[in-house]
Amino acid sequence: MDGAGEEEMKPWEQHSSVIRLPRFDYNAPSSLLTHSHSAFLITCTIKREKSATKEAINLLHNFLLNDDVSSKRRRLDNKDGGGGEVTTDLSLVKLIRNGLVLFIFPQDTFHDTVPIVSNIIQALESRKITLPLWCHRILPIQATCSLNEKELQEVVSMLVKKFVDANQDQLGRPLKFAVGFNRRGIEETKSAKENLNGSNSLLDRNKCFQIVGTAVNSVVKDSVVDLRSPELSVFVEVLPLSGVPNGSIVVAVSVLPSNLVSTKPRLSVKALNSNTKEGSVAQ
């Protein structure tokens, strides 16, 4: 794709020959409140969410097609050999925060999103695919749950156990881990303010860290926090969903390997483009 040609196009015209902008799935918030989902959360340039949505679908498309593990359960159709509309079972979810795009898979279909994002980053680093203009980072969400102590601890424990079982031969002792927690402006909403005023709110960063740390230690007794070189990083992301009842908070949870994580200047998912400016990324 010619970079000069892209610069002449308005943001919402990006990739219009490849894919149309999907509609929001207004049933998604209620499903997220009652069921766990795998998903992708993308940070992008503020006020360029439409362009980032098209770019993200275009970016994910080939990697979803090549995901042999779950391709039989995914519907992807590039009708005109690249010139038509691409359809997928990913649903676009409406958010109340700029600079973010959220896609979720259906509640009864779980996908291992981590290797998909890992493959994307490897392809970008080797220059096999074009660097994105609008999408900055992709968080591969492995599960979602309501923000309460019991559910969060169960989800983190389950994902950490899965990670440790798959990587036993490569992990050191004590196991080094880090925890990332993002609220991304959710505290500005009436719902979050009500939760923040509660006595047992997990929106408190330290409280959330404590719960996650307890969950990790319940799986691996010999584990320590290491923010400089963690072997696994647990990300808890409060999702700023539109259309959820007051008092309802949903979080996304991911347990990521070191190759997908940056620790400077702070713990975060690795950027898709090394030239990404942190000031333009939703924090």
Confidence of residue 273 (pLDDT cuts 50, 70, 90): confident
- Reported as a single tens digit per residue, the pLDDT across 202-212 is 678 899 999 99
Q: Is 224 exposed, middle or buried (0-12, 13-18, 19+ CB in 10 A)?
A: middle
Distance in angstroms (rounded) separating the CA atoms of residues 63 and 72: 14
Q: What is the pLDDT of residue 277?
A: 55
Provide mean pLDDT across the span 2-31: 62
Tell me: pLDDT of 149 over 80: yes
Which H or E element spans position 123?
Answer: helix 113-125
Q: Which of 67-71, 77-81, 218-222 has the lowest mean pLDDT?
A: 77-81
Domain total of the chain = 1
Q: Which is more confident, 248 or 49?
A: 49
Q: What is the pLDDT of residue 36?
A: 96
pTM, entire model: 0.82
Determine the structural domain holding residue 66 and report its residue range.
3-280
Q: Is 60 within 8 Å of 40 (Cβ atoms)?
A: yes
- The CB-side HSE value for 209 (13 A sphere, CA atoms) comes to 12
CA angle 126, 131, 136 (to 5 degrees): 115
Contacts (Cβ under 8 Å, ≥6 apart) of 11? 48, 50, 51, 134
Contacts (Cβ under 8 Å, ≥6 apart) of 229? 176, 258, 263
Provide mean pLDDT across the span 114-125: 95
- Reported as a single tens digit per residue, the pLDDT across 193-204 is 555 555 446 678
Tell me: pLDDT of 73 over 50: no
